[in-house]
Chains A and B, each alone.
Chain A
Amino acid sequence: MQADAKIRTESATESGPRGPSCSLRHFACEQNLLSRPDGSASFLQGDTSVLAGVYGPAEVKVSKEIFNKATLEVILRPKIGLPGVAEKSRERLIRNTCEAVVLGTLHPRTSITVVLQVVSDAGSLLACCLNAACMALVDAGVPMRALFCGVTCALNADGTLVLDPTAKQEKEARAVLTLALDSVERKLLMSTTKGLYSDAELQQCLAAAQAASQHVFRFYRESLQRRYSKS
């Protein structure tokens, strides 16, 4: 009797040989797939897959409550092993991005918890986590002032730019930049970089990421429209 409540959307981006211009891997997103969290989403980019669940606005411990806004917590669990320092630093980056976008002042003294589970990691993990977190926050109905997305750029030794690199491309690259952009004016919300690059290359990556984020936001829009078209 229970019809399928999960809504799955896939993007039609080609995943073949990639040129230097905007060419992201195949996306897929599934919303409302977990029954316990208030919102959940699974985001797939090529072979990288992350599952996100959001609980909130819920009760918060008195020691952690903030009197005038919501306490945002992010928990990132790796696929194998215990969470370590790398996960802690990624959690902090994701939390800072979410705090910039979520309207926490509407729910003071509450907690909004985002739990992310890495299902498979094949490069661009942080960007995939950011996308999954955004879709899960939208699914939970947490008030936000904009949507956000993550885009990863890899710079090779010869200066070419690759968007959404695989794990192999990330290892061979000279620099890897992960940028989080918002949907209203494509402004930069968060950036984390590793490696050596010049400031001209940074501007180039930013421009490429802004162009790529259009595709991601269009995919969000299609996926949400499909979800609401069922009702």
Chain B
Amino acid sequence: MAEAGGITTESVAGDRARAARTMLDQVVLPGEELLLPEQEDAEGPGGAGERPLRLNAGTRSRGRVVCGPGLRRSGDRLLVTKCGRLRHKEPGGGSSGGGVYWVDSQQKRYVPVKGDHVIGIVTAKSGDIFKVDVGGSEPASLSYLAFEGATKRNRPNVQVGDLIYGQFVVANKDMEPEMVCIDSCGRASGMGVIGQDGLLFKVTLGLIRKLLAPDCEILQEVGKLYPLEIVFGMNGRIWVKAKTIQQTLILANILEACEHMTADQRKQIFSRLAE
């Protein structure tokens, strides 16, 4: 089977499209094109020339490949639009899809995505809607009825400047983002106004994803240090509260720094603080 793109040749005409499979976990740059597994059979070693039109469907069934953040479809290939590491996740269970491909990039600016849980700051109250700053290009709107147990008579106690933990129900490039503080069953499940005190600080989006990954060691170690309350927003904001102000500040500094530390340096610092 001819594999398109095992060898990296630098030609003046530009890099040929390479198979997505061979680029997994490698750094990809904007402008590179990736071939999906079904297309490798058709590409010969001559590169992108004329492909014979196949009249039979071929032996492999075409699974549905999901194109995640950092990738776009261009024709029948994937075009990389952000710089980062290419990742792939196989579909679970009996699904016959081709899995998900995405680019893990390091970014500071958040772009609202539907379903993300974020921490917002209330900036205005106008009639029935709160305007909440979530760090994106527009403030999100939050209706006063979108809280657990809120009715027209029983309004939630939200003031300008309060911190809100909610999720997006509408978030696309064409419309103003809308968020709510209840889930689809009408329960709060942790969302709503975040209590008094504590500290809100900003980190990069990649660090939040790392901390929220299942079995994150950093969180377990932090939990053993002091009793604390912590809220992670996918927009890069973390709210943390411990018993004293000094402990809160120490926790905030640790979380900000652990992006750049290796595991050993982190363990050293934790052991020093545990004394």
> Which A residues lie at the B interface, using CB under 8 A?
1-5, 32, 38-39, 56-60, 103, 106-111, 138, 140-141, 143-147, 182-186, 210-211, 214, 218, 220-221, 224-225, 227-231
In the complex, A230 Cα to B137 Cα: how many Å? 30
Q: Nearest CB to that of A4 among chain B residues?
A: B260
Interface of chain A: mostly helix, strand, loop or mixed: loop
* CB atoms of A108 and B174 under 8 A apart: yes
- B14 interface residue per 8 A CB criterion: yes
A140-B108, A141-B109, A144-B81 known; A1+B27 contact, CB < 8 A = no
Q: Which residues of A contact B13 (CB under 8 A)?
A: 185-186
- B173 interface residue per 8 A CB criterion: yes
A57-B111, A110-B137 known; A211+B31 contact, CB < 8 A = no
Q: Which residues of A contact B221 (CB under 8 A)?
A: none
Shortest beta-carbon contacts, A-B, top 3: A146-B31, A141-B107, A3-B260
24 A-B pairs with C-beta separation under 8 A = A1-B253, A2-B260, A4-B260, A5-B260, A39-B108, A56-B109, A56-B137, A58-B137, A108-B174, A109-B138, A110-B137, A111-B137, A138-B83, A143-B72, A143-B82, A146-B30, A147-B31, A184-B31, A227-B106, A228-B83, A228-B84, A228-B85, A228-B106, A229-B27
The number of A-B residue pairs with CB atoms under 8 Å apart is: 108
* CB atoms of B111 and A107 under 8 A apart: yes
* CB atoms of B105 and A141 under 8 A apart: yes
Residue in A57, A138, A147 whose beta carbon sits within 8 Å of that of B109 in the complex: A57
- B29 interface residue per 8 A CB criterion: yes
Q: Which residues of A contact B257 (CB under 8 A)?
A: 1-3
In the complex, A57 Cα to B108 Cα: how many Å? 11
Q: Nearest CB to that of B84 among chain A residues?
A: A228
A2-B260, A145-B30, A146-B31 known; A231+B206 contact, CB < 8 A = yes
